[in-house]
Amino acid sequence: MIAVREIIEFLDSEVIQVFGNTEKVYVKHLKPAESVDKDTLDWINPARIGKQEIVENSKAKVILVDKDVKYSSNIQSQNKTLILVNNPKLCLVKIGHKFFVENLTPGIHQTATIHSLAKLGENVHVGANCSIGNCTIGNHVIIYPNVVINDKVKIGDHVTIKAGAVLGFDGFGYERDGSNNLIKFPQLGNLIIHDHVDIGSNTCIDRGSLSDTVIGFNTKINNLCHIAHNVVIGKNVVITAHVAISGSTIIGDNVWISPNVSLRGHQKIGQGATIGMGAVVTKDIPSGETWLGNPAIRFEE
C-alpha cells in the first residue's frame, strides 16, 4: 500500500491542486481502464472524451486528472481524491517507475562469461548466460540474460539490452572472387551505442566493416530487429519490431520506423521522417516526410 501523501510529495511541482482527503488514503496498484478497482491509482488520459463522467464512474478512490475535470459535488460525495496535474499520463509513468516497477539489482550473474579485459561501469546488471567480449560498457547498464556482445563494442550509460540480443559481430558483406565464389569482406569496424539506448530481445546489430555502426542517444529499438554494418542512426529514433536496416544506411534524428519495415542499403532517411508499417524503402526519404507501401512512396495527407 502506498500513501497518497507520498505520491503527491514525489510529484512535487507537477501537482497543480489536490481535491479531497489525502490523509490515510492509500493505493495498491495500477490497472487498465477495464479493471480499475477501489485500490487502483486511476488516471484519465487527457485525450479521452467524457472525462468528467469517467471520473464520476471510476471505482478508484484516487485519480490523476487534468484541468478539464471538475471536483463536482457528485465526486465530493463519493469521497474521491483528485490530483490535478498538467499531464496525467506522464505523471502515471513517473509514479509507475518510482513506486511499482521492480528494479534489477546491479551485479554479474555467476553464469555470465565476461572477458577479463572488458571495462564495465558502475551499477551494471548482467543476466544469466550472457557472453561479453573485450568491450566497454558504461554506468547503469542493464543486460538481460543470454545476450552476446562481441569484442570492441562501446556501450554508453543507461543502456538497456533485452534477452537474446546479439551485438557487434561481423556484418554480411561478400565479394565475388575470380571464380565467381563468394568470399567475405573483412569486418573490422566497431559498434558504438550511445547513452539511453534500449535494445529489444533477439535484436542483432552488426559491427561496421571499415567504419563503425552507430546507434545515437536515446534511440529505442524493439525486438527482432536487424541493423547491418555501417548503419548510422541518430538521436531519439524509434525502431519498432521486426525492422531490417541494410548496410551503410544513415538515419536522422527523431525518425519513426514502424514494424516490419525494410530499408535498402546506402539510403538516407531525413530527420523526423515517418515510415509506415511494412514499408519497403528503396529510395532516400527527405526530412519530415511520411512514406508507406511496397515499394514505399510518399504519403500525401
Tell the smallest beta-carbon distance from residue 94 to a copy of itself (Å): 8
* E strand or H helix that includes residue 55: helix 51-57
What is the β-pairing status of strands 182-184 and 191-193? unpaired
- Size of site (CB under 8 A) for a copy of itself: 83
Residue among 58, 222, 249, 267 that touches a copy of itself (CB under 8 A): 222
Residue among 123, 139, 236, 271 that touches a copy of itself (CB under 8 A): 236
Judged by CB under 8 A, the chain residues 1 through 60 that form the site for a copy of itself are 29-32, 34-35
Q: How far apart are CA 150 and CA 200, in angstroms?
A: 17
Q: How far apart are CA 121 and CA 124, in angstroms?
A: 6
Catalytic residues: 229
Indicate whether 287 belongs to the interface with a copy of itself (CB under 8 A).
Answer: no
Whichever of 288 and 295 has its CB closer to a copy of itself, that residue is 295
Tell the smallest beta-carbon distance from residue 189 to a copy of itself (Å): 8
Residue among 65, 75, 126, 166 that touches a copy of itself (CB under 8 A): 166
Reading the block at residue 294, the C-alpha cell is 511496397
Reading the block at residue 197, the C-alpha cell is 539506448
Residue among 81, 213, 218, 274 that touches a copy of itself (CB under 8 A): 218
Residue among 148, 195, 250, 287 that touches a copy of itself (CB under 8 A): 148
* E strand or H helix that includes residue 6: helix 4-11
Tell the smallest beta-carbon distance from residue 294 to a copy of itself (Å): 5
Indicate whether 190 belongs to the interface with a copy of itself (CB under 8 A).
Answer: no
Q: How far apart are CA 70 and CA 191, in angstroms?
A: 53
Indicate whether 93 belongs to the interface with a copy of itself (CB under 8 A).
Answer: yes
Nearest to 29 by CA among 73, 61, 57: 61
Reading the block at residue 14, the C-alpha cell is 507537477
Residue among 61, 80, 194, 264 that touches a copy of itself (CB under 8 A): 264
Scanning 77-85, 118-126, 184-192, 266-274 for contacts with a copy of itself by CB under 8 A, the matching segment is 184-192
Tell the smallest beta-carbon distance from residue 134 to a copy of itself (Å): 10
Nearest to 167 by CA among 249, 226, 89, 121: 226
Sign of the CA dihedral with 61 first, then 65, 67, and 70 last: negative
Q: How far apart are CA 226 and CA 233, in angstroms?
A: 13
Tell the smallest beta-carbon distance from residue 18 to a copy of itself (Å): 21
